[in-house]
Amino acid sequence: MGLPLGPIRDRFVWSRRAPLAAGEIRRTERWLASARVFLAVSALVAIWIDPEQVRYSLWAFALLAFYIAQGLIIILWLRRRPTSSASFRLLAHSADIVWPGLISIFAAGPGNPFFLFFVFVLTAAAYRWGLWETTGTAAAAVLLLWLESLSFHLGSLDWLGRALAVLHLPALRVDVTDFEPQRLFIRSVYLLVLGLLLGFLAEQQKQLRAEKAIIARIVGKASVETGLTGTIGEIGAELLLIYEAKQLLIASQEGHSRRIFVGELKREDSASGFRWLQPTGSDEEIYLFESAATACHAGRSGRQGAFELTGLDAGGKRISSGGAECFERLARKHEFRSVVAVSFVLGREWKGRVFLLDPSLTRETEEELRFLMELARQAGPAVHNVLLLRRLRLRAGAVERARFARELHDGAVQSLIAVEMQVDVLRRQSAEKPELATAELGRIQALLREEVLKLRELMQQLKTLDVDSKRLLSILSDTVDRFQRETGIAARFFADVKELEIPQPVCRELVRIVQEALVNVRKHSGAKKVMVRFGEKNGKWKLLIEDDGGGYPFAGRFSQAELDVMGKGPLVIKERVRLIEGQLTIESNPGQGTRLEISVPQGQGAMHG
């Protein structure tokens, strides 16, 4: 029952590509082992309370005790072994079929306490496998009962009774009334119907699980890092593997420009990747022809026969045949005997169709098409997100480059032009007034030093920060030390904590806040000393930045809300504090310095930053 049964068992091609994980199999076996022991103990208690049910037979107690011991051994075995092999599951399942047949001879009929053992073994087959295995289990149990009935009518009980008497062992004390053909027939029908029902439910659950696993795996192929072409290639390779098709084609049309893009991925070339084809004037007619079918399958009835079409509309309902001639044009360009096509829509700007040439399908064509439609509905938004995010990255890069160019033009370039003009003036005056050269060169040197600092700060802002809670304190310390070396302003960093757990986006924003605050100190405060401290208090992370400079043009201690009302305070720092759901407090004493306090709740997982 654990062996593959070919197309009979695999109702859907894609279900073969979604096997159960080893952890899930082991978890199922542990639950079944626990249920097996609980059921056996319950039956033992039931016949201990009313021994008349088994006619006071010690053999029934012995079989139950042996069954309990088997269940405990399986539990211990599963605890020691990390995996559960197919042969082990088959052996345990075979034993579960045999034991009910043996124990039921002591108390037959649907009302006896042992009939639940048959229900258990059918449920176990449904949990482990599916329809055909569960039905086969029911048939095996029925066959075992009929073999027992036949053996009883052939006199096996009389022979066993004499053998036990010779060995001075207790008698069996069995009643074969329920093994008469009339009664056994009803029990057999009961078991077969129950097996079919449980197997059908198991098959439905297996189908849903396979759908979920396949769709999740394919959607997981969407990645911004690999780009749109790479994502399509990854998904296409997965579809070729699932359906064992020889080639995948994808045709898409942009809504605004009406341009059509066609790409292909061949099974033998899947390792080299997906490639786009040269556009032709007939692409729309060949690939994006009008059709009422959202998903369809077309196959030739013979070598040169016409295509026969099976199609489903957007609601999953079968449509009347027609439109198969459209695939003739496709077949003339790409040779195939059968094809599966599914349409997709990406937002409001893209639409298209995916073709799988010569796929391997089962007879459940409509179910296969419905799955492909669901797959397109789930994977389409993921691919669209990749497209949008890549586009957003390009635009963000363009905006950042424009800002960088503007900063260079308004800052460094203008300053260098001014330096050039001053050097030219100095060159002309140096012959007549050499005493001015020293002072002018000093001023030019100070100006160049200032521009170097500005360029470094700009480069620091553009640099991507890779910081987490383990590296936060060291990066803050390095930032403060570098500030002291480059500016000559005495700066110290203090950390009141050694271990912390802060989300990575929050760490990144905290470093940016310190960098921005130090830039403001250098540019505007005229401070000689700066102190940065990080710690925690009352369930909040605390960041303190204090200097002895000129302070803000206001006096007092103000919260972020009060600063917003006044229209004062550092805009960039306020925005970054808002991003991490923190609170900013500024204490300013004009001429005596400024104190910035940022508090962030511990454990908050904000982050859009």
- Tell me the pLDDT tens digit for each residue of 184-221: 788 888 889 998 998 888 888 887 887 888 888 888 88
Residue 312: is its pLDDT beyond 80?
A: yes
For the chain, give percent helix, strand, coil, nearest 5: 55, 15, 30
Question: Which pLDDT score is estimated for 504?
Answer: 83
Question: Which pLDDT score is estimated for 407?
Answer: 63
Question: Which pLDDT score is estimated for 413?
Answer: 61
Residue 518: is its pLDDT beyond 70?
A: yes
The two tokens of residue 185 are: 């027939």
| 464-609: CATH architecture | 2-Layer Sandwich (3.30)
Question: Which pLDDT score is estimated for 503?
Answer: 85
**d(C-alpha 113, C-alpha 149), whole Å:** 20
**d(C-alpha 2, C-alpha 125), whole Å:** 10
Question: Which pLDDT score is estimated for 52?
Answer: 63
> Out of 354-358, 404-408, 499-503, 575-579, which region has the weakest mean confidence (pLDDT)?
404-408
**d(C-alpha 134, C-alpha 429), whole Å:** 103
- Tell me the pLDDT tens digit for each residue of 405-422: 666 666 666 666 666 676
Question: Which pLDDT score is estimated for 462?
Answer: 57
Residue 597: is its pLDDT beyond 90?
A: yes
> Out of 7-11, 364-368, 393-397, 438-442, which region has the weakest mean confidence (pLDDT)?
7-11
Residue 51: is its pLDDT beyond 90?
A: no
Question: Which pLDDT score is estimated for 396?
Answer: 65
- Tell me the pLDDT tens digit for each residue of 523-562: 778 888 999 999 988 888 899 999 988 888 888 899 988 8
Model confidence band, residue 2 (pLDDT cutoffs 50, 70, 90): very low
Please state which CATH class domain 225-392 belongs to.
Answer: alpha beta
Cα dihedral 8, 9, 14, 16, rounded to 10, equals: -130
Neighbouring residues of 324: CB distance < 8 A, sequence distance ≥ 6: 298, 306, 307, 308, 309
Neighbouring residues of 569: CB distance < 8 A, sequence distance ≥ 6: 552, 558, 560, 563, 584, 586
Q: Which residues pair with 336 in a beta bridge?
A: none
Measure the N-to-C terminal CA separation of the chain; round to a whole number of Å: 54
Q: For 193, phi and psi rounded to 5 degrees?
A: -65, -45
Q: Which residues pair with 407 in a beta bridge?
A: none
Q: Amino acid identity, residue 206?
A: K
The two tokens of residue 519 are: 């830039």
Model confidence band, residue 250 (pLDDT cutoffs 50, 70, 90): very high
- Alpha-helical regions (H) of 81-180: 86-103, 115-128, 131-153, 156-166
**d(C-alpha 233, C-alpha 263), whole Å:** 10
Question: Which pLDDT score is estimated for 79?
Answer: 75
Q: Which residues pair with 256 in a beta bridge?
A: none
Q: In the chain, what are the domain boundaries?
A: 6-217, 225-392, 464-609
* DSSP label of 266: E
Residue 98: is its pLDDT beyond 50?
A: yes
Model confidence band, residue 357 (pLDDT cutoffs 50, 70, 90): very high
